[in-house]
Structure 1
Amino acid sequence: MTRLLTVENLSKRFGGLQAVVDVSLAVTQGEICSVIGPNGAGKTTLFNMISGVLRPSGGRMTFDGTDLAAVSPSRFAAIGIGRTFQNLALFKHGTVVENILTGRHTHLRSNVLDAVIFFGRTRSEEIAARQRVEHIIEFLEIEHIRDAVVGTLSYGQQKRVELGRALACEPKLLLLDEMVSGMNQEETEDIARFVLDIRDELGITVLMIEHEMRIVMDISDRVHVLNFGRKIAEGTPAEVRRDPAVTEAYLGGHRAEAARVEA
């Protein structure tokens, strides 16, 4: 299988704080990979570097054969890296369709004159964009709220809209930052199903940060574990579940030992 993303010895410092320290990982095309760890482990900082929000202090990232150090942060989406955020970043006064359409901006090639006369390439792009958005709305089963103002929707519905916007940029790699945080059990199960369908039906590789361990263990092909900015384990869900370093990171010292004795 082809490696889509390779991260080598990635680090990020904020003044005297080392948020991420020499982290290396690889994501293979067609995988669902998870990054887990306790609060403050450096997971979101890692995602921010992979998506171009932050520049690394050290290390190297390669995506689909391209060294990301040579790519402008504004071009990360254009080369195929899509992203949802832990905190919703939607246009609350826009409709569902309008919000998802914003994800198409990386595929627009029209110039100012084309836009003014709305002819030729601009018109073709507009039609193609709306067709793509309608496909995403159907895929995410949100046809009934397509014209609703996003600010009036439930939290779970808004999460689906943000997922739709990320899909609209047609990513090769989709970064999901705690998609099921704050959701009820039914909404969580729906998102898990969508993530599997995104990989299986749309052919998109997924890398996700997730605290909901049931989801991580059920749908991940590979899991990477961070603690205090360092990677402490990686493997299949079963391998990670059995790793003593992971148990200690989550439970700590005496409680980890007690858990091993009880097991």
Structure 2
Amino acid sequence: MTALLAIENLSKRFGGLQAVGDVSLEVSRGEICSVIGPNGAGKTTLFNMISGVLRPSGGRISFDGIDLSTISPWKFAAVGIGRTFQNLALFKHGTVVENILTGRHTHLRSTVLDAVVFYGRTRKEEIAARQRVEHIIEFLEIEHIRDAVVGTLSYGQQKRVELARALACEPKLLLLDEMVSGMNQEETEDIARFVLDIRDELGITVVMIEHEMRIVMDISDRIHVLNFGRKIAEGTPDEIRRDPAVAEAYLGGQRAEAMAKAGA
């Protein structure tokens, strides 16, 4: 498979703190890839650089053949990078439909004058945007809350709305930052199913930051492990399960050694 995302020797410093150091990885088209590691490992900082929230201190990020350092951060969505956030970033006073529609902004070409007249291209774009939003609402099974005010919804429902908004920009690459944190078992299983469908039915490559190891191991094609800002392992779920460096990062040296001796 061809690499959609290629990261070479990426680093990020905040003053004297090295949050990410010399990380290289590739994500192939059509892959579900997970980035895991203990708290403070640099996972969200890595996502922030891929999505344009932060500029790298060093290294290179190439997406679909484009060097991301050559484009402005607000153009990342337009080239095909969508994202959800660990902390919800929704318009709480807007409806579900209104929130999802904001994800269509990268596909709008109308001028201010076009919008005032609301005729021709503007009207066509509005109709197309609403049709796309309705398709996403059906895909994520949130028809029953489509007109609800987002601030009145449960946490799990709001997370699904944020996922819908990310899909509305029609990304080639979808970054999911701890999608299932705070969800119950049923909601977690629903999200896992949706992630598979996003890849299989919509053809979108997915990269996840996730602490729920059951989901990571069940649906990931490949896993990259960070610890203290550096990549310590890469492989399939089975390879990551057996990697002693991963066990040590998560469990500490003595416990990892005990588990290895016990054949765990």
TM band (smaller chain): over 0.9
Q: What is the aligned partner in structure 2 of residue 67 from structure 1? A: 67
2:99 pairs with 1:99: yes
Superposed structure 1 runs of 4+ greater than 6 Å apart = none
Matching residue's letter, 1:131: Q
Q: What is the aligned partner in structure 2 of residue 90 from structure 1? A: 90
Q: Could you tell me how far apart the structure 1 residues matched to 2:61 and 2:94 are?
A: 35
Give how far 1:57 is off: 0.1
Q: What is the aligned partner in structure 2 of residue 132 from structure 1? A: 132
Matching residue's letter, 2:35: V
Q: What is the aligned partner in structure 1 of residue 163 from structure 2? A: 163
Consecutive unaligned residues in structure 1, runs of 5 or more: none
Q: Could you tell me how far apart the structure 1 residues matched to 2:119 and 2:31 are?
A: 41
Deviations 1:80-103 (A, max 9, x none): 000000000000000000000000
Aligned to 1:232, the other structure's residue is in SS state strand
* Structure-to-structure mapping, 1:8-47, within 5 angstroms: 8-47=8-47
Deviations 1:190-230 (A, max 9, x none): 00000000000000000010000000000000000000000
Deviations 1:14-51 (A, max 9, x none): 00000000000000000000000000000000000000
Q: What is the aligned partner in structure 2 of residue 188 from structure 1? A: 188
Q: Could you tell me how far apart the structure 2 residues matched to 1:43 and 1:93 are?
A: 30
Q: What is the aligned partner in structure 2 of residue 6 from structure 1? A: 6
Aligned to 2:99, the other structure's residue is in SS state helix
Q: What is the aligned partner in structure 1 of residue 206 from structure 2? A: 206
Q: What is the aligned partner in structure 1 of residue 175 from structure 2? A: 175
Q: What is the aligned partner in structure 1 of residue 80 from structure 2? A: 80
Give how far 1:243 is off: 0.3
Deviations 1:226-254 (A, max 9, x none): 00000000000000110000000000111
Matching residue's letter, 1:173: L
Deviations 1:110-143 (A, max 9, x none): 0011001000010000000000000000000000
Matching residue's letter, 1:200: D
Give how far 1:181 is off: 0.3
Give how far 1:259 is off: 1.1
Q: Could you tell me how far apart the structure 2 residues matched to 1:158 and 1:112 are?
A: 31
Matching residue's letter, 1:31: E
Give how far 1:179 is off: 0.2
Matching residue's letter, 1:37: G
Q: Could you tell me how far apart the structure 1 residues matched to 2:262 and 2:151 are?
A: 48
Matching residue's letter, 1:86: Q
Alpha-carbon RMSD across the aligned residues, in angstroms, is 0.4
2:197 pairs with 1:197: yes
Instruction: Count how many residue pairs are aligned between Structure 1 and Structure 2.
Output: 263
TM score, norm. by length of structure 1: 1.00
